[in-house]
């Protein structure tokens, strides 16, 4: 799978693990859960907010996914940025395709404000007739 392009790996991750990822994020208060998509590591929702705060040069992508009722925010960082960060910080989990960082407890109000701003103006998915 590692030879697949990052975009394909991301689509596979979302197709195969979205429910597990979103369940994990609903209870997340002090972690960044990261998933490998090749040259990039991605985080979603609460993890995405924490990643955005830790990596000012990260990329933020709001999205709507077919079959999921709410807009999702994803933040990505390069493998190089994450590797540099990991040299100075202890990872709670350090697997090949998944990493977990411990961070200060999330301010729910700050997260909600950030999330609302990121998804503002995101078009609705069109319904099939």
pLDDT score for 128: 47
pLDDT score for 124: 77
pLDDT score for 11: 94
pLDDT score for 123: 83
Instruction: Return per-residue pLDDT of the chain as tens, 129 residues.
Output: 467 898 999 999 999 999 999 999 999 999 999 999 999 999 999 999 999 999 988 999 999 998 888 999 999 999 999 999 988 888 999 999 999 999 999 899 999 999 999 999 888 766 544
State pTM to two decimals.
0.90
Contact 13, 20 (CB under 8 A): no
State how far the Cα of 128 lies from the Cα of 125, in Å rounded to an integer: 9
Q: CB atoms < 10 A from the CB of 86, how many? A: 13
pLDDT score for 1: 47
State how far the Cα of 76 lies from the Cα of 39, in Å rounded to an integer: 10
State how far the Cα of 73 lies from the Cα of 12, in Å rounded to an integer: 17
């Amino acid at each position: 799978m590692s030879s697949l392009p990052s975009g394909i790996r991301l689509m596979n991750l979302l197709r195969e693990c979205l429910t597990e990822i979103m369940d994990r994020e609903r209870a997340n208060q002090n972690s960044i859960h990261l998933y490998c998509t090749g040259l990039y590591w991605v985080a979603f929702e609460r993890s995405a907010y924490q990643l955005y705060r830790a990596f000012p040069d990260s990329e933020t992508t709001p999205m709507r996914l077919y079959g999921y009722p709410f807009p999702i925010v994803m933040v990505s960082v390069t493998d190089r940025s994450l590797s540099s960060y990991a040299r100075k910080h202890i990872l709670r989990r350090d697997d090949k395709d998944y990493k977990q960082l411990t961070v200060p407890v999330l301010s729910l109000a700050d997260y909600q404000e950030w999330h609302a701003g990121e998804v503002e103006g995101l078009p609705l998915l069109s319904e099939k007739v």
